[in-house]
A and B are shown apart, each in its own frame.
Chain A
């Protein structure tokens, strides 16, 4: 009942019905009073006429008659009835039953009929009015949805009122906003795809040009030593292209969201150890030290292999931008809300102007090495984002860079 009362339409209807009820009640009371008065009038006139007629013939009877008017005694009533019976008047049509009473009855009948009509038709009419209003509102919601379906998201439907219909409008609007957002991101995706293709072609074109050149030179049949050197260069270019295409394939699968991330639960330490192990050679080459810090038993939930790939890419970045004999610190923690892995180096740092863009695909910062294509961090970012996680970077020039990966535990739906 209270729920229903929140709807303004219902409240309005209840109000109108209450007013109507009061009106009908008032009408019924006045009709009753009026017809009682009418009857009283008829009786009095008739009685007065009767007393007048008797007193004209027998002036002495005045006292006795007034006595009977005040309070009729049983004996007198019986005598009177006997006399009336002799003239064929039964109690059914006494001498009061004349035209006057018939008139009163007719009036009463008419009034009560009117009352009945009011009592029945007004609520029914009101009900249909109410229905048609509600349907009109539903129709307007329908029109709104039709226009949204046609791609017109510019409409405002929320009326910020109380009641179920307003709530419905509110929820529909939320869905409209969602659709609008999706439509926009779809458009952005198209642009991104075009840029992506341009980037790829550009990245592949450089080694291809050099391959064509080298093969042209080989056609001239140079001596063995030069041939060998050219072949090494061809192989290294092909290796680079192979790496590029594999990475791009992975990245595009990630960005397209076609990779399904597993929900493994594993020790963070295992993940970190595997990542460091994979980078043993470059670490050794630059004689850098890796320091681990964290609870050995700390667990993480996510896709082991992909998260490993992300971590390796981030560590590669650290190795690349840290001078020889530098230090890379890896810390990790687990708590009820999330697990976090932080990696920090004491290297050259990232230029503050580059900072917002380092996770963008094909972005190369001012300190980027020659071989850098700008895929590693973009891939790490995609991997973590796909898992609903977060990856942040802090960097100060000449002091070092810190990356933080956060994976949240089971989220709210």
Chain B
């Protein structure tokens, strides 16, 4: 079942002599439950693409449909709410709120919607993330791997339609990287969670169902690894 449709998306920064075509007519679709790795050299447009998929950055032209909703037809407020409910974003540098503790950071998407936190589910999530004894710690009291696990918890708590990860292991050592990737894969396998991940690590990319290679803002290759 198709969950994401990207149609002729282009992104242009600057104009005239300094014009940069970060994305040039990119089109592809992703099915529900797919794990897609996006690879490519620095400056190829990977992150720009991910930000456009996540509703963070507007494309210059083209449309992005998530579960049939054209997200750039929404106004700013609607888009912010859509993002909070349907998209989980995981960044290289975690982007946790420094003054909120682990539990508050994870439940933030729910609290913004004024929703009750299901304590049982939260406990299970914390257990799986290996954060049960860190519930009241602040981000700066955690290691990098733990901080990234908090970010994963925050991305998963809402059962989003789409989880987008921008080099989630780029800032971690190999042991932590492995753990983070396994957590993400687990959510992908067990909950049929659609996952799109940017990575520089070829071994991580090979664990995906499909690898999209981007160069100079275009899709160079789109290979299915396993069906």
Contacts and interface: CB of A to CB of B under 8 A. Distances in A.
Q: State yes or no: do A and B come from one complex.
A: yes
Interface of A: 2-3, 6, 154, 156, 158-162, 166-167, 170, 173-174, 177, 180-181, 184, 335-338, 355-357, 359-360, 385, 388-390, 392, 394, 406, 408, 410-413
Contacts of B69: 156, 158
Contacts of B187: 412
B182 A181 contact: no
A213 B184 CA distance: 55
B51 interface: no
A174 B86 CA distance: 9
B224 interface: yes
A411 B74 contact: no
Contacts of A388: 189-190
Contacts of A180: 1
Contacts of A166: 81
B114 interface: yes
A177 B124 CA distance: 25
Given A337-B183, A388-B190, A158 B114 contact: no
Interface of B: 1, 3, 32, 67-69, 74, 77-79, 81-82, 85, 113-115, 120-121, 124-125, 127-128, 130, 156, 159, 161, 179, 182-183, 185-187, 189-190, 192, 206-207, 224-227
B190 to A, nearest CB: 5
Contact of B113 (A2, A167, A174, A392): A167
A413 B227 contact: no
Nearest to A335: B179
A286 to B, nearest CB: 28
Nearest to B75: A160
Given A161-B78, A337-B182, A356-B226, A390 B114 contact: no
Contact of A408 (B79, B115, B190): B190
Nearest to B175: A335
Contact of A160 (B3, B79, B125, B128): B79
B115 A412 contact: no
List of 3 A-B pairs having minimum Cβ-Cβ separation, nearest first: A160-B78, A160-B81, A160-B82
A406 B115 CA distance: 35
Given A160-B74, A392-B207, A412-B121, A174 B130 contact: no
B50 to A, nearest CB: 21
Contacts of B78: 159-161
A408 B69 CA distance: 34
Contacts of A389: 189
A175 B189 CA distance: 19
24 contacts: A2-B114, A6-B114, A160-B77, A160-B82, A161-B77, A166-B81, A167-B115, A177-B3, A177-B161, A337-B130, A337-B179, A337-B183, A356-B224, A356-B225, A356-B226, A360-B227, A385-B189, A390-B189, A394-B206, A412-B127, A412-B128, A412-B187, A412-B190, A413-B124
Nearest to B120: A413
Contacts of A408: 186, 189-190
A336 B68 CA distance: 38
Given A177-B32, A337-B183, A356-B226, 20 more contacts: A160-B74, A160-B77, A160-B78, A160-B82, A162-B81, A167-B113, A167-B115, A177-B1, A181-B192, A355-B226, A356-B224, A356-B227, A385-B189, A389-B189, A390-B186, A390-B189, A392-B226, A394-B206, A410-B128, A412-B121
